[in-house]
Amino acid sequence: MKISFDWLKEFVKINKTAEEMAEILTLSGTEVESVQKKGKDCILDLDITPNRGDELSVLGIAREVSVLTGNKLTRQSSGDLSSTTSPRDDKPLTVEILDPQACPRFTCRIIDKIKIKPSPKWIADRLESYGFRPINNVVDITNLVMIELGQPLHAFDYDKISGHKMIVRRAKNGERVKTLDGMGRILSESAIIIEDDKNLIDLAGIMGGKLSEVSNETKTIILEAAIFNPVLIRKTAKEQALVTDASYRFERGIDQDGQIRALNMAAELILKCAGGETAPVVDINKIKFEPKQIKINLKKISSLLGIKIEKKEAEKYLNSLGFDQEGSVVEVPSWRNDVSIWQDVAEEIIRIKGYDKLKTELLPKEKPKQTSSTFKQKELLKDRLNDLDLAEIYSYDFLSSKDLEILKKTDEGLYEIENPVAPENRYLRDSLFPSLIKAIAKNPTYPQIRIFEIGQVFNLKNGERTYLGIGLAGDKNENITEIIDKINQTTLSDLKWQTKVLDEEERRRYKIKKKFTAMAEADLFQFLVDMPMRGKFDLIKDIQYREISKFPSIARDFAFIVGTDVKDSDLADVIKKISALIVRVELFDEFESNKFGKNKKSLAYHLEFQSPDKTLTKKEGDELSKKIIKLVKDKFKGTLRGK
């Protein structure tokens, strides 16, 4: 939003330059993106946050400047219109609100015997500085008041309103209205409209209607200032792809008690610039404004902010912001729709006190706890199982009586839950087989199923244990012992497995539609407890210092075809021992394929060669590569893939 610095100074005394004031506003949370010179004036371009609809006006920014500089507002409202107001029996008007939630308040007044003409130069200049195109004195004044006070207004041609009746209601699906831009718009129930005896005459809160437009022939107007539901305005503006200056303000929330002030100011200016006589205000207030009251506790506020806030200090800041305070209760002003809880009040206090007053503390020196070796082992095991084309599943630890019946199993040896979350899930599982069976049965559309789960099982004899379960299913047989052997070859050679191949009767009973289903499970106790101590699967490595070389490294990738019995770690260890110049050996790919031959697989490594005291040449890198290829061939009967 753009705002004139000279216009701002009409509301509050400012002893600072525009640039200095821009910095003060930015530090308080109202960001000024730029300051541009325009003749003797300066234009501040502000980025107003969506919750601060009260700042979408000159008065709103003037309030902020007043608080931040300590200077009182010098102008807040228009003069008294009582001297130019007279009862009008010859100009009847009926106003009715059918949906108070859509329009809680509607105020208006008739102004008669006006003369439509171009605006005075000072009004036109102000509007142009904001990017508004001057139209005529009446329309320009409604825009001027909206910019100054933040309350959108609209002027209707009184003589174009059939029956001199204005009914405010929600639109019906499919209703049409022609707006001032000449567009015929199809409305939904979210739109708020104003209608007369015959037609829709206004898309309320967004754009006026063509049928009631003020023209050069207009002699009598109805000047309107209302409150419209921000949610409905936002939804309609989005549906119609029509965001206007009025809808922008209604969406973000306007002053809930500023309609009469705006109406009076606009009427006063119209009488000065267009002549005429004004009738009294018509005020239909269906939902009267009740100021929000918030109970605050300075101890809680101080605790939240991390600094002590004194009572007098809080009162000073809140009073300057327009809040009324009695004891521990704060009354929020009508223009602050964004303040509703005590934390909002705390934010206002520190915003004015200054965010720079908040204490900054270093993060605690205590290092975060290391991830347990058990967790690391499980994660590495999962990676290995993923490499073997097994997908992980997660399932509940519970069994129902129906599960036991299907499994032809008794509750002997099972833990029974005293207060189960679901009454039917009364038992804790003592095996992963039921979970694997359920997962296979629920996924009939997959041609081949290869799954695993690492989960808890429970029985009265051994208590709680961590098990690994594997499930294979499909229309062709798979030897589950081959999967077990592959796991044992790498990391789990000490595991004791239980296997089960389901026969036709069992598959039918479990509603499994695959021709083949096999499962295996093993207790991971030895793996999780004993393995690290024996050094077979210890993931916690000793940290070794190696000085970082000043010289660049050479990177090479190798993919070897070797037997399936070759461990990737053994091959990597052999490569590392070839030369001290080999500083990195990292496996990045492993897979089996029939194209490599029977019992063959591919192991791909990323290697780095580096010297601590010189830059290695390409020739030296090639020589190391030849040694690696030869040693893999001699030691493992491996060949370079693609050769």
Give the whole-angstrom CA distance, residue 164 versus residue 197: 8
Whose structure tokens read 């493992």? 636
With DSSP H G I counted as helix, E B as strand and the rest as coil, what are the percentages for the chain, rounded to 5?
35, 25, 40
By the 10 Å C-beta count (0-12 exposed, 13-18 middle, 19+ buried), 283 is classed as middle
CA distance from start to end of the chain: 68
Closest CA to 639 of 631, 185, 30: 631
Query: Which backbone phi and psi does 147 adopt, to 5 degrees?
Result: -65, -40
Spacing of C-alpha 363 from chain mean position:
26
Give the whole-angstrom CA distance, residue 297 versus residue 287: 30
Which tokens go with 545? Answer: 């210092």
Give the whole-angstrom CA distance, residue 97 versus residue 285: 9
Under 8 Å between Cβ of 38 and 25: no
Neighbouring CB atoms inside 10 A of 289's CB total: 15
Give the whole-angstrom CA distance, residue 4 versus residue 275: 28
Give the whole-angstrom CA distance, residue 323 versus residue 342: 13
Under 8 Å between Cβ of 307 and 357: yes
Bridging pattern class, strands 105-112 and 221-227:
antiparallel
- Give the E-state strand segments of 99-198 in sequence order: 105-112, 153-157, 165-170, 176-178, 184-186, 192-195
Neighbouring CB atoms inside 10 A of 275's CB total: 14
Closest CA to 218 of 90, 134, 110, 92: 110
Give the whole-angstrom CA distance, residue 597 versus residue 561: 9
Name 367's Cβ contacts closer than 8 Å, sequence gap at least 6: none
Which tokens go with 301? Answer: 């506020």
Bridging pattern class, strands 31-38 and 207-208:
unpaired
By the 10 Å C-beta count (0-12 exposed, 13-18 middle, 19+ buried), 359 is classed as exposed
Q: What does the buried/exposed string (b/e) look like for 45-73 if buried means 16 or more CB atoms within 10 Å of the residue's CB?
A: ebebeeebbbbbbbbbbbbbbbbbeeeee
* Alpha-carbon distances of 280 from 107, 207, 433, 557, rounded to whole Å: 10, 25, 83, 88
Which tokens go with 468? Answer: 């690994």
DSSP letter at 179 equals B
Spacing of C-alpha 219 from chain mean position:
51
Whose structure tokens read 């204490």? 359
Under 8 Å between Cβ of 559 and 643: no
- 453 belongs to an annotated ligand binding site: no
- 338 belongs to an annotated ligand binding site: yes
Binding positions are 338, 344, 347-348
Binding positions for Mg(2+) are 338, 344, 347-348
